Structure 1
Amino acid sequence: MPPPQTPHRASAAIVTTNVNNAVAAAMPLAMPPPPRAQPMPTRPISPPPKAPPPAPAPASVPGSAPAPMPTPKTQTPRPRTSSGTALPAKPLPMSVSAPSLAPSLPRKPSPVPGPSRATPDAGPSISADASSTVKRSTIPYAPTRRITPATSVLVPLSPAEMERYRNYPGGIGSMMLRRKRKREDELSGKRVLDEGEEDEESARKKRKLGDVGIVVEHYNTRPDVGVTQRQDSPIIGLKSFNNWVKSVLITRFAYPALMDSPNGQGRPGTGRGTRGRVLDMGCGKGGDLTKWSKAKVADYVGLDIAAVSIEQAQMRHASARGSRFTATFFALDCYAHVLSDVLPAPLLSTPFDVVSMQFCMHYAFESEKKARTMLQNVAGWLRRGGVFIGTIPDAEQLLDRLDALPKDAKELSFGNSVYKIRFEDRTNRPTFGHKYWFFLQDAVDDVPEYVVQWDNFVKLAAEFDLQPVYKKEFHQVFEEHHEHSEFGPLLERMRVVDANGESQMDEDQWEAANIYIAFAFEKR
């Protein structure tokens, strides 16, 4: 299950995308400002040396015309309709269609040189040796649209990023890095482990790291694929559906809280019509930044235990088109530390209108102390009337599936081709620290998580003046909103279903989606 939140640092690493709103922190992650583009210098062309006149060119054939320029092919977008958004009302099979790939943009045609403008006495063409005297363009390099910040190519890979690319299980490039590292080990005299020894070494490393370290390492080494590559994920249907559920939560509960914010408009530099503040605990790589932009938030603070994820979230916000809100990011464990102990005081001086925890709160239930610290951080800086939204695994369903396993089962696990959940004990079920191991294809690689018993969660939250206002399983969220005037068409726009109402999720993905519940609390 997506982004984690677990302990590691007492100090916060800060990155901000607005200089006016930057605050001091121990580990600045902001990138240097891009240098101002300067016009290329021009050089006069020195007169070429005299040379014998060139041989006359062959006469052109009368009436002939130059070959026509090839016209670049363009791709016509397929028409889409707003009808047919029905998915099954039960958490079981749905019709399957081949994943729709995003159409590739046509390549911009290369410029074809026009006829020469040389005069009869211009002399021979300039040779390669004289290329340094060619007149250069005075137009400065200043692209109007960037995919990444201008100086991103100047930033070297960090050790964490290098390790991530080396360990990435897919892609030719990663295999080359693995082979190179193996060869380096051989040349340096290090003994290279075989597959069996590697498995044993991996298990030993996990024991040494502990649960928190395993989670941090996992999310720090997850590759950050682009939007195009993301569409090639084998579980893209599941990921799209999860994003749709989060969009429903934000629109139904967070947006009204932001618009009713007593904090007024955003700080100077934010867009017109923006309002309110959001605290995203477990923001990961910033996958929800676009959703918050559409919710017209003015100020956003993102926290995550994985420093590499925070760097990627900051890059995503910096390169976003039309971003109208300020965003500040910190790498810290908000389950082990009270925010006032690690964040700058000015950042917490104005209360938040919304706190969000998506697919990560279960990590806090490793112990009662962590769960209480998490709720203190949620409620302590949330205004009265503000909302707390999130998504967690459904404990009731997990334990029912555990009870349904055969008595003589050698492994206490269940799942399918997409996900797997493995418990270590059948009978020991503590309120806090009830651990299981979770695997999700192309997302989570067998990391420890903890059961969140709903009744216990509600009772604990009440101590912090948080009252539940919404709780639904994911399939119930779909049943409630798939015919809604706004959320129905959103299913198609987010590619949960196609124009014919068919989903990219197969039965296994649909089952994996429905082990989760969505919730909303209000601070009274």
Structure 2
Amino acid sequence: MIPPQQRLLDFAKTALLNIFLHPYASVCDLYCGKVIDEERWDEAQIGHFIGIDVATSGVSEVKEAWESQRKLFGCDFYELDPCTEDVGPYLQEKENQADIVRCIRHLQLCFETEEKARRLLQNVSSLLKPGGYFFGITPDSSTIWAKYQKMVEAYHNRSGGMKPNIVPNCIRSESYMITFEVEEEKFPFFGKKYQLKFSSDPYAETHCLVHFPSLIRLAREAGLEYVEIQNLTEFYDDNRTQFAGMLQDPAHSLVDPRGRLLPRSYDILSLYTTFIFKKPDPDLAPPLMTPLLPDGNYDHDEIELHEASWREDEKISQSEMAPGLGKIAEQKGILGPGPADLRFPELL
């Protein structure tokens, strides 16, 4: 039986691909792993597929399997880590560039250090053709950090200030448990590790919180323009007319008869967000607006200025977005969008 979190994420993957895929498109899948959406690429009639992942992922086995089959599209597989290695030497010809680059559930691991996140985005820019899109799914740091902060606040209220130096490091719900490696109340922009374990999964996944203003800043430096970052609960609401049927199962339904998320489904889906960036094509249209974030080291005292800049630029860019990409929700938290009921009304 497919775990509920996997069914929910599969919905988001399918919806994103339906928005961006078109016949004869060239597609690059970062950290593709052993499970390739082979049927999806066949149905979409893509023109070329590029799979990239580390050697230990088993991508070489996938390559051998694909080469033994006759495909309607060409394919290339590369064993490398796009957050530590340069893809440039593998792209000797423009034909190796892609119309879309997808990264599902791995962006957060590149936020272990700023250098890794920068390298990943530089590689994405090299891989993309002008006018191409970079998109995917990643945990929503705003949701996770808001839950953590509320738990810390409740703990201090219960303890009555008797143990001021002890900070709890674990978030528990019916569906999952999130454990931070270091007990602290500050949010570093890179390297804030935590473990996420779902009740239906025997193994815990290790992630890093993604500081979204830093993501936007590094993407801009790499030549990528910000389009949209949207919590999956709102992404679902925008697309549920099309995709609610994917989640309706008499035995294990994740939505009610009207297609609305059940509380447990909402709780799981709120942990994730979409992200969409575009590589501008100077020959076709002016670039989309991207929030201006100053270079250099960040200071927590400056967050309010950064947040105000991000929100103001969202209002500008909202009217310039490509059709079919949904809307940018206003008043996102500095760490990410988060569902409306968990957004920080003010700076952290």
* Partner residue, 2:112: 366
Q: For residues 453-485 of structure 1, what are the alpha-carbon distances to aligned partners after superposition, in whole Å with 9 as ceiling and x for unaligned? A: 1122112211122122222211111111111xx
Partners in 1 of 2:62 and 2:7 — Cα distance? 19
* Partner residue, 1:475: 233
* Partner residue, 2:189: 431
Partners in 2 of 1:466 and 1:457 — Cα distance? 10
Q: For residues 115-144 of structure 1, what are the alpha-carbon distances to aligned partners after superposition, in whole Å with 9 as ceiling and x for unaligned? A: xxxxxxxxxxxxxxxxxxxxxxxxxxxxxx
* Partner residue, 1:497: 248
Change (3 A) 1:425 1:284: same
Percent identical across equivalent pairs? 22
AA in 1 matched with 2:102: S
Q: For residues 10-44 of structure 1, what are the alpha-carbon distances to aligned partners after superposition, in whole Å with 9 as ceiling and x for unaligned? A: xxxxxxxxxxxxxxxxxxxxxxxxxxxxxxxxxxx
* Partner residue, 1:422: 179
Q: Which has the higher helix share?
A: 2
AA in 1 matched with 2:97: P
Are the counterparts in 2 of residues 289 and 317 from structure 1 also a CA contact under 8 Å? no
| Distance apart, 1:411 and its partner CA | 4.0
AA in 1 matched with 2:46: V
Are the counterparts in 1 of residues 131 and 278 from structure 2 also a CA contact under 8 Å? yes
* Partner residue, 2:273: 517
Give 3-state SS (helix, strand or coil) of 2:32's partner: coil
Partners in 1 of 2:42 and 2:223 — Cα distance? 28
* Partner residue, 2:203: 445
Partners in 2 of 1:441 and 1:301 — Cα distance? 34
| Distance apart, 1:305 and its partner CA | 2.1
Aligned with residue 13 of structure 2, among 246, 254, 272: 246
Partners in 2 of 1:355 and 1:393 — Cα distance? 18
Aligned with residue 345 of structure 1, among 92, 101, 107: 92
* 2:121 aligned with 1:375: yes
* Partner residue, 1:11: none
* Partner residue, 1:464: 222
* 2:141 aligned with 1:395: yes
| Distance apart, 1:280 and its partner CA | 0.8
Change (3 A) 1:396 1:519: same
Instruction: Summarize the alignment of residues 69-468 of structure 1 with structure 2, pairs less than 5 Å apart.
Output: 232-233=1-2, 235=3, 237-252=4-19, 254-255=20-21, 259=22, 274-305=23-54, 307-311=56-60, 313-314=62-63, 317=66, 323-341=71-89, 343=90, 345-346=92-93, 350-405=96-151, 406-407=155-156, 411-423=168-180, 424-441=182-199, 445-468=203-226
Are the counterparts in 1 of residues 167 and 185 from structure 2 also a CA contact under 8 Å? no
| Distance apart, 1:440 and its partner CA | 3.0
If asked which structure has higher relative contact order (CA below 8 Å, sep 6+), I would say 1
Are the counterparts in 2 of residues 388 and 520 from structure 1 also a CA contact under 8 Å? yes
AA in 2 matched with 1:476: E
Partners in 2 of 1:308 and 1:381 — Cα distance? 20
AA in 2 matched with 1:290: E
Partners in 2 of 1:429 and 1:363 — Cα distance? 16
Unaligned runs of 5+ in 1: 1-231, 260-273
Would you say how many aligned residue pairs link Structure 1 and Structure 2? Answer: 263
Are the counterparts in 1 of residues 91 and 97 from structure 2 also a CA contact under 8 Å? no
Partners in 2 of 1:501 and 1:416 — Cα distance? 19
Give 3-state SS (helix, strand or coil) of 2:28's partner: strand
Change (3 A) 1:302 1:478: same
| Distance apart, 1:358 and its partner CA | 0.5
Q: Please give the TM-score of this superposition, normalised by the length of structure 2.
A: 0.67
Partners in 2 of 1:411 and 1:425 — Cα distance? 6
* Partner residue, 1:62: none
| Distance apart, 1:350 and its partner CA | 3.7
Partners in 1 of 2:12 and 2:250 — Cα distance? 19
Are the counterparts in 2 of residues 238 and 510 from structure 1 also a CA contact under 8 Å? no
AA in 2 matched with 1:250: L
AA in 1 matched with 2:5: L
Partners in 2 of 1:514 and 1:403 — Cα distance? 16
Are the counterparts in 2 of residues 336 and 370 from structure 1 also a CA contact under 8 Å? yes
Partners in 1 of 2:54 and 2:168 — Cα distance? 31
Change (3 A) 1:355 1:417: same
Give 3-state SS (helix, strand or coil) of 2:277's partner: strand
Give 3-state SS (helix, strand or coil) of 1:432's partner: coil
Q: Which has the higher strand share?
A: 2
Are the counterparts in 2 of residues 286 and 312 from structure 1 also a CA contact under 8 Å? no
Change (3 A) 1:242 1:312: farther
Partners in 1 of 2:11 and 2:112 — Cα distance? 28
Change (3 A) 1:293 1:427: same
Are the counterparts in 2 of residues 284 and 306 from structure 1 also a CA contact under 8 Å? no
Are the counterparts in 2 of residues 436 and 449 from structure 1 also a CA contact under 8 Å? yes
AA in 2 matched with 1:389: F
AA in 2 matched with 1:387: Y
Change (3 A) 1:441 1:319: farther
Partners in 2 of 1:355 and 1:478 — Cα distance? 22
AA in 1 matched with 2:73: F
Q: What is the root-mean-square deviation in Å for CA atoms of aligned residues?
A: 2.9
Partners in 1 of 2:274 and 2:116 — Cα distance? 21
Change (3 A) 1:285 1:444: farther
Are the counterparts in 2 of residues 365 and 371 from structure 1 also a CA contact under 8 Å? yes
Unaligned runs of 5+ in 2: 157-162, 256-260, 281-348
Give 3-state SS (helix, strand or coil) of 1:404's partner: helix
AA in 2 matched with 1:238: Q
